[in-house]
């Protein structure tokens, strides 16, 4: 069994789509629109086969979860894997240079990864990670 996709409600589909296409090499499908439900979405596909669905509808309330300081139960981050520690470092530099907040600088974690944490344009928490040998 595989995890087929993860879905995120968004305020600005176009900005979020462009972010994942530009910085994470995603490929977006054509926008799906259901006029009757005022629903719009994109599926963004990645080389690994994983997909991210970003969706919008005007009646969806804001999320009360503060992904930086006051996290709550439930899904809290997406993790993107890269091949090397250098790739982790480069992605952190690229995002920081583009104005995206780096929550924690690249570092070794106690569970065997080298990673950093950041936020996408809608404050969804992301980890960019690679395994390291202890």
Strand ranges (E), the chain: 5-9, 27-28, 32-34, 39-45, 51-56, 77-81, 102-108, 113-119, 125-131
- What CATH number is given for 5-56 in this structure? 3.10.180.10
Least confident of 11-20, 60-69, 76-85, 106-115: 60-69
Rounded-to-integer distance, Cα 35 and Cα 39, Å: 7
pLDDT for position 92: 98
The pLDDT-based confidence of 40 (bands split at 50, 70, 90) is: very high
Instruction: List the one residue out of 22, 18, 19, 27 whose CA is nearest residue 46.
Output: 27
Give me the architecture of the 77-131 domain, per CATH: Roll (3.10)
Q: Do 5-56 and 77-131 fold alike per CATH?
A: yes
């Amino acid at each position: 069994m595989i995890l087929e996709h993860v879905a995120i409600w968004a305020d600005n589909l176009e900005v979020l789509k462009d972010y994942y296409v530009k910085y994470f090499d995603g490929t977006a499908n054509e926008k799906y629109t259901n006029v009757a439900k005022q629903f719009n979405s994109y599926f963004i596909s990645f080389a690994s086969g994983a997909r991210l669905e970003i969706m919008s509808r005007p009646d969806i309330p804001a999320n009360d979860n503060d992904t930086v300081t006051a996290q709550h139960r439930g899904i809290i981050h997406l993790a993107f894997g890269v091949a090397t520690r250098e790739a982790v470092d480069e992605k952190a530099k690229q995002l920081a240079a583009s104005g995206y907040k780096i929550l924690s600088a690249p570092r070794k974690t106690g569970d065997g990864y080298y990673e950093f944490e950041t936020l996408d344009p809608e404050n969804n928490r992301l980890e960019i990670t690679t395994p390291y040998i202890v």
